[in-house]
Amino acid sequence: MAKKPKFKITPIGGLGEIGKNMTLFEQGGQGFIIDCGIMFPANDMHGVDYIIPDYRWLEERNDIKLHGILFTHGHEDHIGAVQHVVQSFPDVPLYATPLTTGLLKVKLKNARLLDKVIINTFDAGDRIEVGPFNLESFHVCHSIPDCVGYGIHTPHGMVVHTGDYKFDNTPVHGRKTDYAKLASFAERGVTLLMADSTNSDKTGWTQSEAVIDGALDRVFRNAKGRIMIATFASLISRVQQVVYAAKKHKRKVCITGYTMSEYSKIARKLGYLDVDDDMLVDIGRAQTLPPHKVVFMVTGSQGEPSAVLGKLASGRHRQLDVRETDTIILSSHPIPGNEEMVYRTINRLIQRGADVIYDPIESVHVSGHARQEEMRLMLNLTQPKHLLPVHGEVRHLHLHAKLAVDNGIPRDNIVVIENGTTIEIDQKGIHVGERQPGGYVFVDGSGVGDVGPAVIRDREILARDGFMIVSVNIDQHTGKLIEEPRIVSRGFVYLRDAEDFLDQIRDNVTTLLHNNRSANGNRRIMVEDSLSKMIYSETKRRPMIFSIINEV
């Protein structure tokens, strides 16, 4: 009997981080990808707009034919890099559920790539053939409708990829996580479960989205004036919940911000957002309504200064302002790293007189990810032989592994790996294989990957202490200074208050060059060294220092 080929899985992103999810599946030279998302930069990744998975090695592989790029759901950390991937892998069709397709189309249209791509739309629960591969999609609950996971048939048993999930028994859109399909996978034999680890440090169950209805109802009942609710543009189910609350409390809904408006339109068109025509008003009409008759949906719940809520907080919104009678709800949790900006926004809104409601003041947000008991349920439903924890920082992956051991999976059957590491499945089990680069590709402006650690380090130094450039013209024959040194400096000292200090610097350079006017040494380095020492001793700061010596 011929040996069956190995089935290989390479997480390209999503391990050791929450963001930029992307995984390659392959067997015998055929392959497909699940998800291609972005990650938002940490506070010390200066100037980076976003980060995409490092799949450059895959572009260079000629031994593999890609048959499809499949998506689990429409969040940025799963679809955000689509415009990069379709340019890197032209002619590879996309596969997604209807809402995810709608959101992909918005992104591809903005990138002027929509006519270059084939998108195959399927319904959650459908079987899909992707080249030689057979997959069974299954519906999962998360914080956006139309999410799926995939059961992947391999010669060595099924591989189940959960996508982002929670077991919400009372989801806003009614459709539950597909318990039956997951159980049926178990019957057929799951060799490997790849499962969401985001909340593995949290005990118990994630609350149902239904708890938010109660909180919204209380807030709507008490609000005397306008209500403004900030959440993620893609949180369609939250928009739905607000619409229902508004209907009950006889308020009209005004959806503001480009992305939230676009996403809501798509969701409505595809039947994922149930709202009567006469419930929706534009911002102009909303302004004419009595305050207690309107609710605004806004973006900026992560404290982004350029989003609607950020502009309201700093008084920079062109059409809206914050009034003393406004009730403002932040229906979100700060993503780690954003806490400072979120609380700053809240403080400013309160300073403008608004009543600001956020968790823990009211339960106005719940996570979209499974907690520990749900993770156990997933293990018990699918009964996998092996586990690959995905979607989480290192600490989440390790805690997920620990939980699985407690739940009866042998430690040796659990693989905690890093991005770029291939795992191979064959008759005997699972093995950790080769390692490809799995790091960050920074997108900065129109540049993809041209800004690397060296540039970021320079930005870090500039951010801390700024720079100073001294330019001098000296006579090439006599070595004498022709005119006073010129100084350009930013981010170091406030120049207008530092004239004495600048004089001191000019004197230092002038004296140094005068004393060394016949020196053969490198004047540039001499000037820079001398200035560095003098400046550190005077200020205890280390700006970048450059000199330009023109011998004329």
H runs (alpha helix) in 302-366: 308-313, 339-351
In angstroms, what is the minimal distance from the CB of 24 to a copy of itself? Answer: 23
According to the binding rule CB under 8 A, does residue 462 interact with a copy of itself?
yes
Q: Return the biggest CA–CA distance within the chain.
A: 91
Q: By C-alpha distance, which of 130, 129, 119, 125 is closest to 96?
A: 119
Would you say how long the chain is, in residues?
552
Q: Which pair of tokens denotes residue 36?
A: 């291609």
Q: Which of 432, 488, 519, 525 binds a copy of itself (CB under 8 A)?
A: 488
Contact 420, 220 (CB under 8 A): no
CA separation for the pair 162, 148 (Å, rounded): 8
According to the binding rule CB under 8 A, does residue 467 interact with a copy of itself?
yes
According to the binding rule CB under 8 A, does residue 351 interact with a copy of itself?
yes
Number of residues that bind a copy of itself (CB under 8 A): 69
Q: Which of 220, 232, 272, 492 binds a copy of itself (CB under 8 A)?
A: 492
Judged on CB neighbours under 10 Å (0-12, 13-18, 19+), 259 is: middle
Contact 388, 183 (CB under 8 A): no
CA separation for the pair 527, 519 (Å, rounded): 13
According to the binding rule CB under 8 A, does residue 447 interact with a copy of itself?
yes
CA separation for the pair 278, 286 (Å, rounded): 12
According to the binding rule CB under 8 A, does residue 482 interact with a copy of itself?
yes
In angstroms, what is the minimal distance from the CB of 337 to a copy of itself? Answer: 4
Q: Which of 339, 434, 484, 503 binds a copy of itself (CB under 8 A)?
A: 339
* Radius of gyration, CA atoms only, the chain: 29
Three-point CA angle 238, 216, 248, nearest 5°: 95
**Closer residue to a copy of itself in complex, CB, 151/485:** 485
**Closer residue to a copy of itself in complex, CB, 166/352:** 352
H runs (alpha helix) in 252-393: 258-269, 283-288, 308-313, 339-351, 372-382
Q: Which of 174, 284, 290, 336 binds a copy of itself (CB under 8 A)?
A: 336
**Closer residue to a copy of itself in complex, CB, 105/344:** 344
**Closer residue to a copy of itself in complex, CB, 50/272:** 50
In angstroms, what is the minimal distance from the CB of 438 to a copy of itself? Answer: 13
Q: Which of 59, 450, 484, 503 binds a copy of itself (CB under 8 A)?
A: 450
| Phi/psi at 184 (5° precision) | -70, -30
**Closer residue to a copy of itself in complex, CB, 425/470:** 470
Question: Which residues in the 189-208 window bind a copy of itself by CB under 8 A?
Answer: 201-203
**Closer residue to a copy of itself in complex, CB, 282/460:** 460
According to the binding rule CB under 8 A, does residue 444 interact with a copy of itself?
yes
**Closer residue to a copy of itself in complex, CB, 514/541:** 541
In angstroms, what is the minimal distance from the CB of 35 to a copy of itself? Answer: 22
- Binding piece for a copy of itself, criterion CB under 8 A, among 162-170, 268-276, 311-319, 540-548: 540-548
CA separation for the pair 505, 530 (Å, rounded): 10
Question: Which residues in the 386-405 window bind a copy of itself by CB under 8 A?
Answer: 393-395, 398-399
Give the containing element (helix H, strand E) for 453. Answer: helix 453-465
Q: Which pair of tokens denotes residue 142?
A: 């998360």
**Closer residue to a copy of itself in complex, CB, 486/514:** 486
- Beta-carbon contacts of residue 531 (< 8 Å; ≥ 6 apart): 468, 470, 505, 508, 509, 545, 547
According to the binding rule CB under 8 A, does residue 276 interact with a copy of itself?
no
Binding site for a copy of itself (CB under 8 A): 16, 42-44, 46-47, 201-203, 336-337, 339-340, 343-344, 346-348, 350-351, 356, 360-361, 393-395, 398-399, 444-447, 450-452, 454-455, 458-467, 469, 471, 473, 482, 486, 488, 490-494, 497-498, 538-541, 544, 546, 548, 550, 552
